[in-house]
Amino acid sequence: MKKMFRAIGAGTSVFALTLVTSAQQGPRLGSDWPSFRGIQGAGVADGQPTAMTWDVPQGKRLRWKTPISGLGYSSPVIWGDQLCVTTAKSGKADAGLRLGLYGDIASVTDDTSHVWLLTCMEKNTGTVLFEVKMHEGVPQIKRHTKSTHANSTLATDGMHIVAMLGSEGLFAFDMKGKQLWKVDLGVLDSGFFMVPAAQWEFGSSPVIHDGKIILQVDVQKRSFLGAFDVKTGRELWRTNRQDVPTWSTPTVHVVGGRPQVLVNGWRHMGAYDFATGEEIWRLKSVGGDIPVPTPVVGHGMVYLTSAHGPGAPVFAIRETARGDVTLAPETTSNAHIVWSYPRDGSYMMSPVLYRGLLYVSKNNGVFAVFDASTGEKVYQQRLGDGTTGFTASLVAADGKVYFTSEDGDVFVVKAGREFELLAKNPLGDYAMATPAISEGTLYFRTGAAVIAVK
């Protein structure tokens, strides 16, 4: 430690020293939350007690609340004691956002100049460490009435902060907000493949693993999966994908000592070799033509789900799968797929695998719990009154699973084979972003603030 301190300079703060030290060690379970849904996209952070009940409007168990302007659904990412989010500010006072359960595919018309901001805070106090203007201009792609121009969550390895702004580019910053590089990926038109005029904005988030940034870019034309050098932005490989636009974030998972990139999709769920981009296995879905949930892994299996269009499947696929593993008609398993359900999948929310159970929730609050190994449906339950929308993905910690509604109510469910609602807690504002968890504190990004609950 003394040698490291001399190497980075005697005047370096303890805060900066902590970041450098933890960056060299890699993300710490229960502490760092380096990308969408934390380490390996799992959405789990055990190790310390987390809150069961709170009331943000009344200040109950509220650790801090820091205002944030503009619109953004990017989740907080955390490394060491630093928390960061992105936002996009329209030139209009009322940028137009419509929440709730509805099926309108319309885009928002807003040709004003926008400003994209990177804001980093001290996670224990909410004090803003810095705010950086990443980009300014008229968005090249429109957004859905329920979307924003800052949907994608950041990724960090403790030395770099990577921001994917869709058509506005891929950016990298150091931990103090200095821009290191930018890559222009061209216009990335995400929208409903059946109605190309319906533009909905980009949503997949970057993932950093072993010095590489992995991007899943499923758009209307020239979709691809790509790897980029985190230090320089240099493209390392690109594999073309023949799929419709998706909003899913990939997951990196090591199988037999070799990392794989797992992706959701409609025409092409599957796995790719992390080093080369070569396809390992593929699965054509039986439904879910607007894939959003990120893959989760455990028990030697990959869990994938989607729910839009003709079906709403849930799949449990062996991590050792190879080739085309697509199910034959009217079947639910094969040599590679251990179990599946055709109608129990999730549209917007990524599931969580926790203590041997897979929790899969629909956006109307109905969720099902499966035995992750056998596929047994343990129980099904509804949260809310049926009119409440849910978009934020599930997270779990300390024997509890957290469901965040668009209305800003957080339902706390006891983990286990029997349903028990422990609490329903208000955030005092709408909430679309997935929470982060670090050292027993829950971090929520609402419409107007980032909130820490302990």
Q: Does domain 2-453 have CATH number 2.130.10.10?
A: yes
Residues 359-393: pLDDT tens digits?
Answer: 999 999 999 999 999 999 999 999 999 899 999 99
Are 89 and 149 contacting, i.e. CB atoms less than 8 angstroms apart?
no
Provide the pLDDT confidence category of residue 454 given band limits of 50, 70 and 90: very high
Are 253 and 300 contacting, i.e. CB atoms less than 8 angstroms apart?
no
Q: How far apart are CA 68 and CA 51, in angstroms?
A: 23
What integer pLDDT is reported at residue 19 of this predicted model? Answer: 52
Strands 279-283 and 323-324: parallel
Quick one: what percent of the chain has pLDDT higher than 90? 90
Are 101 and 389 contacting, i.e. CB atoms less than 8 angstroms apart?
yes
Helix/strand/coil for 17: helix
Are 140 and 92 contacting, i.e. CB atoms less than 8 angstroms apart?
no
pLDDT exceeds cutoff 70 at 3: no
Q: How far apart are CA 437 and CA 44, in angstroms?
A: 8
What integer pLDDT is reported at residue 94 of this predicted model? Answer: 87
Q: Which of 18-32, 68-82, 107-121, 322-336 has the lowest mean pLDDT?
A: 18-32
Residues 124-138: pLDDT tens digits?
Answer: 999 999 999 999 999
CA-based nearest residue to 285, from 338, 216, 341: 341
Quick one: what percent of the chain has pLDDT higher than 70? 95
What integer pLDDT is reported at residue 96 of this predicted model? Answer: 85
CA-based nearest residue to 364, from 340, 398, 343, 389: 389
How many residues in total does the chain contain?
Answer: 454
Q: Which pTM does this prediction carry? A: 0.94
The helix (H) or strand (E) run that includes residue 182 is strand 179-183
Residues 242-259: pLDDT tens digits?
Answer: 999 999 999 999 999 999
Q: What is the mean pLDDT of the chain?
A: 94
Helix/strand/coil for 437: strand
DSSP 31-62: T-B-STTSGGG--B--SS---S--BTTTTBTE
What integer pLDDT is reported at residue 334 of this predicted model? Answer: 98
Q: Could you tell me the residue ranges of all domains in the chain?
A: 2-453
What integer pLDDT is reported at residue 376 of this predicted model? Answer: 98
pLDDT exceeds cutoff 60 at 225: yes
Residues 379-436: pLDDT tens digits?
Answer: 999 999 989 999 999 999 999 999 999 999 999 999 999 999 999 999 999 999 999 9
Residues 159-193: pLDDT tens digits?
Answer: 999 999 999 999 999 999 999 999 999 999 999 99
Are 74 and 153 contacting, i.e. CB atoms less than 8 angstroms apart?
yes
pLDDT exceeds cutoff 50 at 213: yes
What integer pLDDT is reported at residue 6 of this predicted model? Answer: 31
What integer pLDDT is reported at residue 23 of this predicted model? Answer: 64
pLDDT exceeds cutoff 90 at 24: no
What integer pLDDT is reported at residue 309 of this predicted model? Answer: 85
Are 400 and 415 contacting, i.e. CB atoms less than 8 angstroms apart?
yes
Residue 2 phi/psi, 5-degree rounding, is -65, -40
What integer pLDDT is reported at residue 25 of this predicted model? Answer: 77
Find the mean pLDDT for residues 328-344.
Answer: 97
By CB atoms closer than 10 A (0-12, 13-18, 19+), residue 47 is: middle
CA-based nearest residue to 292, from 210, 205, 376: 205
Q: How far apart are CA 338 and CA 454, in angstroms?
A: 39
pLDDT exceeds cutoff 70 at 22: no
What integer pLDDT is reported at residue 280 of this predicted model? Answer: 98
Residues 78-113: pLDDT tens digits?
Answer: 999 999 999 999 999 888 899 999 989 989 999 999
163: Cβ–Cβ under 8 A, 6 or more apart, which residues?
Answer: 86, 116, 118, 134, 152, 154, 170, 171, 172, 173, 206
- List of E strands, 61-113: 62-67, 77-79, 82-89, 107-108
**Which residues, in sequence order, are bridge partners of residue 171?**
163, 182
Provide the pLDDT confidence category of residue 5 given band limits of 50, 70 and 90: very low
What integer pLDDT is reported at residue 412 of this predicted model? Answer: 98
DSSP state of 428: S
What integer pLDDT is reported at residue 13 of this predicted model? Answer: 47
